[in-house]
Amino acid sequence: MSSQALDKIFSKHELGQNFKSALMIETNSSYSNFADKVFCKKYQVNKQNLIDLLKRTVKVSNEQEAAICSPVFADQDEEIQHWSVRYFRTLYVDELSGKKPFQYAEKSYRKWHPIQNIRRSHKALVFDGYLDYDYDISTALISVMLADVQKLDSRFDMTAYHLVFDYRDNKAAIRKTVGEELGLDADAVKELFSYINNNGVISASPHMSLMGIVGGDKAKVEAIRTNKFFKTYIRQIKSLWRSWVSMNNIQVAFTDNAEQRPLIEKKKRFSLYFFNERKLLDSIEQYLQEKSAIYFLEHDGFRTNLKIDQAELEQVIKDQVHIEVKIDQK
């Protein structure tokens, strides 16, 4: 992580820099921004100092809090998880218990909250006993794109995107097959499709997040690049993006030819999705409020204290937003 990125987290004020010094260990002080040799300073977390800070920050816990955590830790990572969970449960106890609503920051049509950035394994423990029902919109990006394109173009050729439709409707089976063929676990396959659906480049470059998804295995990247299914699927998803963006009069780069590439930020393409995704989220939030549920929103998903009627919510979204989606319980 770069020093500038850390300054955004800790701020440049004296107190923030003191926290940075206490919580981060600089492991490589070298820095270069030359075009042919780009690298940043390297830092790692000072785990013991982080543990001590979290322990001092957490208030006296009640019996319920004490029951979910073990006082014996296998290592520092487990201890950090323990105190991180206790910290967030203490900090947001009023929101988790429904005494007051969660407050979100608004950016790019999305609602943002610090809990969204917690590691997945920690997050389940933060909500445990409060918001135990976890839902999301299945293949939200693809569902939104297909629905909007079909609405905007009455002559839309569904057969040209048969693999995209198949993934939307048979996601679990396709992911299972891909995982077995590439030797990837379920989480890695989920990340792989998310990467591809967001127009990720199939490259073994260390600068591409794909390498992290496949565990740094260049052979797996090559297997993805030459796989018959993925070659067709990637072509279809890129074409679908082009059609959708074009219909909404937004120009985005879809070519490697620099002379043909318009100077438009990529994020504007995602603004189109976030705009439509927000319609879904607003409909979901209204539904949850009508049910008097305690809830936490996370982009295309939500957690609640009540088990919901998924079919009923799907129909509400269809009636209000005119997009057919499937609500999955995790």
**pLDDT exceeds cutoff 90 at 180:** yes
pLDDT of residue 23: 73
Backbone dihedral region for residue 292 (phi beyond 0: left; psi -120 to 50: alpha; all else: beta): left
**pLDDT exceeds cutoff 60 at 267:** yes
Confidence (pTM): 0.78
φ/ψ (deg, to 5) at 324: -85, 120
- Work out the mean pLDDT of the chain and round it to a whole number: 83
Confidence of residue 31 (pLDDT cuts 50, 70, 90): low
Q: Please compute, for residue 177, the number of CA atoms within 13 A of its CA located in the half-sphere on the CB side.
A: 9
For residue 292, give Cα distances in angstroms to 113, 240, 257, 314.
Answer: 21, 38, 53, 18
Q: Which residue ranges make up each domain of the chain? A: 1-45, 50-122, 131-330
285-319 confidence digits (pLDDT tens)? 999 999 999 999 999 999 999 999 999 999 999 99
pLDDT of residue 263: 44
229-249 confidence digits (pLDDT tens)? 999 999 999 999 988 888 887
H-helix or E-strand spanning residue 218: helix 218-226
Cα–Cα distance between 141 and 139 in angstroms, integer? Answer: 6
pLDDT of residue 86: 86
Weakest-pLDDT range from 32-36, 198-202, 207-211, 264-268: 32-36
> In percent, how much of the chain has pLDDT > 70?
80
φ/ψ (deg, to 5) at 201: -85, 135
pLDDT of residue 254: 57
**pLDDT exceeds cutoff 80 at 55:** no
**pLDDT exceeds cutoff 80 at 258:** no
